[in-house]
Chains A and B, each alone.
Chain A
Amino acid sequence: MKILVPVKRVLDYNLKPRVKADGSGVDLANVKQSMNPFDEIAVEEAIRLKEKGVATEIVAVSIGEAKAQDTLRTALAMGADRAILIVHDGVAEPLAIAKLLKAVADEEQPGLVILGKQAIDDDSNQTGQMLAALLGWAQGTFASKVEVAGDTVNVTREVDGGLETVALKVPAIVTTDLRLNEPRYASLPNIMKAKSKPLAQKTPADYGVDMAPRLETLAVTEPPKRQAGIKVASVDELVEKLKALGVAA
């Protein structure tokens, strides 16, 4: 089966986001951007399924500005076979992304689409579920284990109370949680090889999808800052503080 892996370019997770002074958003000028960590896990899972002989081809797709090419090259260097870049400048909401991905899925007919459970910038946690709805497919979100057996994929999900396993009819959507796997680093030869792997460029218009946002961002502000408090010198002092807080008798 073919596997489609949507990957998003986001502010590197090691960096602390800076809110722009004019309140229009987070400053992304001249800061390192990398593949969303959950999407690295998605790419890795697809590669492992290919190594097991379950998957035959891995197609990475990204929607974003032209620089999202770098993110796709990373996916190709890790082991994806080819890539599709849908160039779009400006805000792209999960609903519009899901519509584009549906159009790509209609064309590519994958057996699985593996997405990150959330992008660490907007933290929406929506795209995979929306895509599942638009395609009329089953969804296994927050996956920590994925097992394909014939026409069924068993997905173990990280839920609030613990773990849950569901059996989904293929084709299906999977979204990754952090413990699904540990993504590999691309080796230098593979990074070189990735440069010659096919990368198609498209636009939302090619798929007839309207990208107009439904949400207007009125303001982006810094959260209230917490002040550092005091340091106590001993356990005895800490005990006194806990008593003063009323949590210890």
Chain B
Amino acid sequence: MKTLVLVEHDNASVKDATLHTVTAATKLGEVHLLVAGAGCTAVADEAAKIAGVAKVHLADDPALANQLPENIAPLVVTLMAGHDAFLASATTTGKNIAPRVAALLDVMQVSDIIAVDGPDTFTRPIYAGNAIARVKTSDKKLVITVRGTAFGKAARDGGSAAVEAVSGSANSGLASFVSAEIASSERPELTSAKVIVSGGRGLGSGENYHKLIDPLADKLGAAVGASRAAVDAGYVPNDYQVGQTGKIVAPDVYIAIGISGAIQHLAGMKDSKTIIAINKDEDAPIFQIADIGLVADLFQAVPELTEKL
């Protein structure tokens, strides 16, 4: 089987999410990559070095700079004439593009897979991970999004794939990019961090969040996350949100502070290796899944913890 993996990038370098998706694609067959962007030759060169990659298709066009699905999907459909499966990461970029490709190919997409069980059989969580479904597709071509936390990362070196240019005009004229507010942070990225410190409504304010969570995260070299309640209350921006409708994370250690443990939040972090919870309510549902729990007032416990580390 020949697979085509959509590379996630910022026109400068390959994002880690792609490395997980390459691992999933390897389980299906030969791996080709698509780098679609503007002025992104460096990305293609980097992608060509990823272990296990046989070919890189490079589509370099100003209309592809911002990953608009209206412009990328038709390009993928053209390339799919020579491929059997299209895989994208289950990130906001992948989720935006893959279903558009699937519909154009008249294929029912398999979303958010956590295992490849065979050439046409996959495992995926449903109901916020409260149930796990094994599904078998009867479509001739496959369109799949991949949950990164379920697959290891392919090595960034070891490969020496050929880069082939894709031609053709890409502008559909349907949509245009206006602006982006992308948070920049010195901290590790949420979805690939080894340790995450996450804060919830229990913190009471954005000021408290930054006063308590940031120093602890700094001490641990951790990424920072939040519950939806904390995001809704404006303590932190939306890209901090962990959960069913936020980011799915699976770090070595997840520290939940002032988070009750609603099923929608658990859906995003319950595959973490070790879960630590600090909550003043000993009956909080988070303690039912936490490996290590501390029943305490976070306003005392967290500064003390930061100091003693």
Contact = CB atoms under 8 A, between A and B. Distances in A.
Contact of B130 (A17, A154, A159): A17
Contacts of B294: 231-232, 234-235, 237-238
Contacts of B220: 242, 247-248
Contacts of A31: none
Contacts of A140: 175
A236 interface: yes
Interface stretch (A65-73, A190-198, A219-227): A219-227
B292 A229 contact: yes
A228 to B, nearest CB: 5
A123 B131 CA distance: 11
B100 interface: yes
Contact of A238 (B102, B247, B292): B292
Nearest to B278: A238
A236 B102 CA distance: 53
Contact of B308 (A142, A164, A231, A239): A239
Interface string A130-145: 1111101111111010
Interface residues of A, number: 83
A209 interface: no
Interface in A145-167: 154, 157-167
A184 B296 CA distance: 37
A219 B134 contact: yes
B218 to A, nearest CB: 12
18 contacts: A26-B127, A98-B103, A120-B127, A126-B99, A129-B99, A130-B100, A132-B100, A138-B174, A139-B69, A159-B239, A162-B180, A177-B245, A217-B134, A220-B134, A228-B290, A230-B291, A242-B276, A247-B253
Contact of A122 (B126, B129, B276): B126
B133 A220 contact: yes
A204 interface: no
What 3 pairs between A and B have smallest CB-CB spacing?
A229-B291, A129-B99, A214-B108
Contacts of A98: 103
Interface in B129-170: 129-139
Interface of B: 66, 68-70, 73, 91-93, 95-104, 106-112, 121, 125-139, 172-183, 191, 194-195, 219-220, 228, 231-232, 237-239, 244-245, 247, 252-253, 263-264, 270, 274-276, 282, 287-296, 301, 304-305, 308-309
A159 B238 CA distance: 9
Nearest to A133: B103
B219 A162 contact: no
Given A19-B130, A216-B137, 6 more contacts: A123-B112, A125-B112, A128-B99, A162-B239, A165-B177, A215-B137
Of A141, A160, A215, which is in contact with the most chain B CB atoms at under 10 Å from its CB?
A160
B238 A19 contact: no
Contacts of A228: 287-290, 293
A221 B132 contact: yes
Given A142-B92, A166-B178, A248 B239 contact: no
DSSP majority for the A interface? mixed
Of B95, B138, B177, B263, which is in contact with the most chain A CB atoms at under 10 Å from its CB?
B95
Given A17-B127, A160-B92, A223-B132, A123 B111 contact: yes
Contacts of B107: 95, 214
Contacts of B132: 220-223
Given A220-B131, A232-B292, A235-B308, A164 B179 contact: yes
B238 A168 contact: no
A16 interface: yes
A162 B239 CA distance: 5
Contact of B295 (A164, A217, A218, A231): A231
Contact of B176 (A130, A167, A232, A238): A167
B92 to A, nearest CB: 4
B112 A167 contact: no
Contact of A230 (B91, B92, B293, B296): B293
A163 B175 CA distance: 17
Of A25, A130, A157, which is in contact with the most chain B CB atoms at under 10 Å from its CB?
A130
